[in-house]
A and B are shown apart, each in its own frame.
Chain A
């Protein structure tokens, strides 16, 4: 009995980060294998959010299927409906008027703003700094007011339809002035917050060098979006999308791949979105906002890729007699799962939650039935 206690000086245990957890806003499960407070291995289980959206979309008329995709996620709702409309417009050769294209980009950049503020507020809450979290939620309210003014609802605003923009979302002089005032206010408050955040030694010491993902690992695991750009690779699909051709913006990268780089990525992407919205307001062309002169016919499988706040989004479906067939949706958080599992290995267990949340997971978008073709 005494020999056993003397020889064994390492304790191995398994700590679950369970289905419902304060650091996670969706249900998922992580098993952390811990030895002496350092995490040696981790395993993530997803699939609790599976609701069968692709099965519901099979056989619906196209307009109804488009407005159903918006309900997949509450944070990135405009991205799903925009991409779904783009698939049908590409398949049926529908010309979208110029004014509608600009307004769609304004809505998408507003959504990127609200998503990044939510990420920063949630990250501060996981760090333990509730004051920063409350201040960020307050700054975010400016963006929510603008979204509910244009779309009618704070979450899931339904701006894009097949052929253009819903008539309620038309921007007249008063709304343009409100957006301009909102952008000025946001820029001033974000700069003040960023100064306070970066010059705080306690916060910086908790996030520097924690949860590092190397560039080689990120490329091997096929990460996308800000998670990949925080390791130094400058890949942003917005430079290749023809909707973004009239606008000028910079692609932000950071080196390091740790939590500090990921947080600074989002803080620096906010002024770029404000720049794009200001350009769009200044150069908004005149004209109609919907194009209703198109005809339905049967088409084969069509695909579309766009850049959303978390990475690259893929939608595809085929059309038969005006109804949707064979719909497949792949969200960016699915590509980033491998990086999340890798990032928490080798660090203290108290930093494990921060390393998982740094890649901005949105599992409500992700849970779909997948087929593994090659491992």
Chain B
């Protein structure tokens, strides 16, 4: 492993972006990194709120029309190499909000996350369990460590 990959693997920074969901997934994600019970910090994964120092972007919520532009700007501000994890049923397929009835699409939702930015790992659940988020983050790590 090169020196860059070795030092990158020692400090992974995760940034969380919420785009209009019910907030259940956001609390579970903050729980899994901060709370001493699930504790992703022991794997050297830290939570940050600055896109310029982040490596992994975690997106929750069905993307509403007003939050589409902030999501694109945050994705562009993260330096390469980066990975994107979409967490929760809303981020994967729009959840309960995507269709008004049957297959009539809603006018407030700009589509699930992979219509807007490219996604590397998908974590299902409503709300996601903290154990599954840790598994999803770990599965996105080889992309960061093998780049170069």
By a beta-carbon cutoff of 8 Å, the part of chain A in contact with chain B is: 18-22, 25-27, 47-53, 55-56, 59, 68, 71-75, 77, 118, 130, 133-134, 137-138, 140-141, 153-156, 362, 364
CB atoms of B66 and A74 under 8 A apart: no
Given contacts A156-B126, A364-B22, whether A27 and B67 have CB atoms under 8 Å apart is: yes
Partner of B17, one of A20, A48, A134: A20
B140 contacts chain A at the CB level, 8 A cutoff: no
CB atoms of B27 and A74 under 8 A apart: yes
B7 contacts chain A at the CB level, 8 A cutoff: no
CB atoms of A25 and B27 under 8 A apart: yes
CB atoms of A52 and B18 under 8 A apart: no
Q: In chain A, what residue has the closest Cβ to B48? A: A22
Minimum CB–CB distance for A372 against chain B, Å: 20
CB atoms of A51 and B25 under 8 A apart: no
> Which B residues are CB-close (under 8 A) to A364?
20-23
Minimum CB–CB distance for A156 against chain B, Å: 6
CB atoms of A27 and B100 under 8 A apart: no
A49 to B108, CA, bound (A): 9
Q: In chain A, what residue has the closest Cβ to B15? A: A20
> Which A residues are CB-close (under 8 A) to B97?
51-53, 56
CB atoms of B19 and A27 under 8 A apart: yes
A sample of 22 inter-chain contacts (CB < 8 A) reads: A20-B70, A21-B49, A27-B18, A27-B66, A48-B20, A48-B67, A49-B64, A51-B62, A51-B97, A52-B97, A55-B106, A56-B106, A71-B22, A71-B95, A73-B22, A74-B24, A75-B23, A77-B24, A137-B31, A138-B35, A140-B35, A141-B35
> Which A residues are CB-close (under 8 A) to B17?
20
Scoring A73, A133, A364 by chain B CB atoms within 10 A of each residue's CB, the highest score goes to: A364
B127 contacts chain A at the CB level, 8 A cutoff: yes
Q: How many residues of B contact A (CB 8 A)?
A: 36
Minimum CB–CB distance for A365 against chain B, Å: 9
> Which B residues are CB-close (under 8 A) to A140?
35
> Which B residues are CB-close (under 8 A) to A59?
101
Q: In chain A, what residue has the closest Cβ to B101? A: A59
Q: In chain B, what residue has the closest Cβ to A148? A: B129
> Which A residues are CB-close (under 8 A) to B21?
74, 364
Q: In chain B, what residue has the closest Cβ to A48? A: B66
CB atoms of B106 and A74 under 8 A apart: no
Contact with A along B25-67 (1 / 0, CB 8 A): 1111001001111000000000001000000000000101011
Partner of B36, one of A18, A137, A362: A137
Q: In chain B, what residue has the closest Cβ to A72? A: B22
Given contacts A20-B70, A51-B109, A56-B106, whether A134 and B34 have CB atoms under 8 Å apart is: yes
User: Apart from A25-B18, A59-B101, A137-B34, what 17 extra A-B contacts exist at CB < 8 Å?
Assistant: A20-B18, A25-B23, A25-B27, A26-B23, A27-B19, A27-B20, A27-B66, A27-B70, A47-B66, A48-B66, A50-B66, A51-B108, A56-B96, A71-B22, A138-B37, A141-B35, A155-B28
Partner of B27, one of A75, A133, A134: A75
A49 to B19, CA, bound (A): 8
> Which B residues are CB-close (under 8 A) to A52?
97, 100, 106-108
B135 contacts chain A at the CB level, 8 A cutoff: no
